[in-house]
A = this chain, B = another copy of it.
Amino acid sequence: MKATFMYGAGDVRVDTVPDPTILEPTDAIIRTVRSCVCGSDLHPYHSMKSSDHGSPMGHEVIGVVEETGSAVNSLRRGELVVSSFTFQDNTCVHCREGFHVSCLHGGFFGGHGIGLQAEYVRVPQADGTLVTVPDTDGTGNGSEELLAGLLSLSDVYLTGLHAATMGQVGPGTTVTVIGDGAVGLSAVLASRQRGAERIILMGRHTARTDLGREFGASDVVAERGEDGINAVRELTGGAGTHVVLEAVGHRPAFEQAVGVIRPGGTISRVGVPQFKEAPLGGPLFLHNITLTGGTAPVRRYLDGAIPQVLSGEISPGRVFDVSMSLAEAPAAYAAMDAREALKVMLVP
């Protein structure tokens, strides 16, 4: 089969490798219907050391069940399924409390030798990891809009929803979203879904912030740094917003979050931190700022979000603006890196 590997910074290749097989009774094999490239895939794209051994890439996929191990109970061959970007048993103490990324028997795709930018995938802990899409005909066919929506539930939309959930966004809350990438835009949509009173999107790529407005942003602030902070302060009568959803992960974005948060407010972050330390005293302590968020336990939200996508209540798949074949994965990375594409869907 064809599968995507990274051999070093900027060096993505699609290789031909053996098809995966069942290794554990809890495994399933799925045939990929759609996968995609994540903003977080660009971090190694910038920094990975060159190696003769490629690292398997990709952690977002929807697919059709081909085969199940003897201990898999909830899945049938031919069902269309959404995978979360981690695998987990969905039964351990941490899964039961809703933090599946901390599963005692779980792990991250991309790691464990499994990349999801591939034609077939071995899914560990299949019962806890894959969720069946109801009422599908077993072919994996569907409108492009529907497939894009379902694929967005593998990571990006539900990461945005996790940010809003951890930030306790709800009616009456004012929200600043930092970052106009696919996760930031998803956080706007999720905040609107949760009933936020006002959503200020900080981003400077007009095509993206325009989609942000369609997703529910009430205001867009294009300025950065001090100017951006002042603009948000001005929009909020000086007080800042109750919640900031930080979807970037770089230190200036964190500092921007601290700059626009209201006393007693919550910074919820889902951008993977690319900096080591940050000040925890000063204004954070004085003004009772809560810092929350982290790696999204997508599995927690899948059962609720799949029907919303099927019914058309939400269209989170609109963050996919470019579609390429899996063989074009190197070009997909390059396009996202050059910001020519917001998020690229890969068709096997």
Interface, chain A (partner B; CB < 8 A): 93-94, 97-99, 101-102, 166, 237, 239, 254, 262-264, 269, 272-273, 275-281, 284-295, 297
Contact = CB atoms under 8 A, between A and B. Distances in A.
Contacts of A101: 263, 286-288
A113 B273 CA distance: 42
Nearest to A99: B264
Contacts of A93: 237, 239
A45 B166 CA distance: 40
Contacts of A284: 294
B288 A291 contact: no
B239 A286 contact: no
B280 A288 contact: no
Nearest to A239: B93
Contacts of A166: 288, 290
A263 B254 CA distance: 22
A287 B94 CA distance: 10
A218 B347 CA distance: 57
A242 to B, nearest CB: 8
Given A278-B278, A279-B277, A288 B99 contact: yes
Contact of A297 (B102, B277, B288): B288
A221 B286 CA distance: 30
Given A166-B290, A280-B291, A285 B273 contact: yes
Contacts of A239: 93-94
Number of copies: 2
A264 B295 contact: no
A93 B242 CA distance: 12
Given A94-B239, A264-B94, A289 B285 contact: no
A177 B290 CA distance: 19
A98 B278 contact: no
Contacts of A295: 285-288
A290 B290 contact: yes
Q: Which of A286, A287, A294 has the most CB of B within 10 A?
A: A294
B288 A292 contact: yes
Nearest to A285: B294
20 contacts: A93-B239, A94-B239, A94-B264, A97-B263, A102-B288, A166-B290, A254-B280, A269-B285, A272-B281, A273-B280, A273-B285, A276-B279, A277-B278, A280-B291, A287-B294, A288-B294, A288-B297, A289-B294, A290-B290, A291-B291
B281 A273 contact: yes
A61 B241 CA distance: 34
A293 B287 CA distance: 9
The 10 A-B residue pairs whose C-beta atoms are closest, nearest first, are A102-B263, A273-B281, A288-B294, A99-B264, A277-B277, A290-B292, A291-B291, A99-B263, A285-B294, A94-B263
A239 to B, nearest CB: 6
A102 B286 contact: yes
Given A102-B263, A276-B279, 20 more contacts: A94-B263, A94-B264, A99-B287, A99-B288, A101-B263, A101-B286, A102-B286, A166-B288, A254-B280, A273-B285, A275-B280, A277-B278, A278-B280, A280-B291, A284-B294, A287-B295, A288-B294, A289-B294, A290-B291, A291-B292
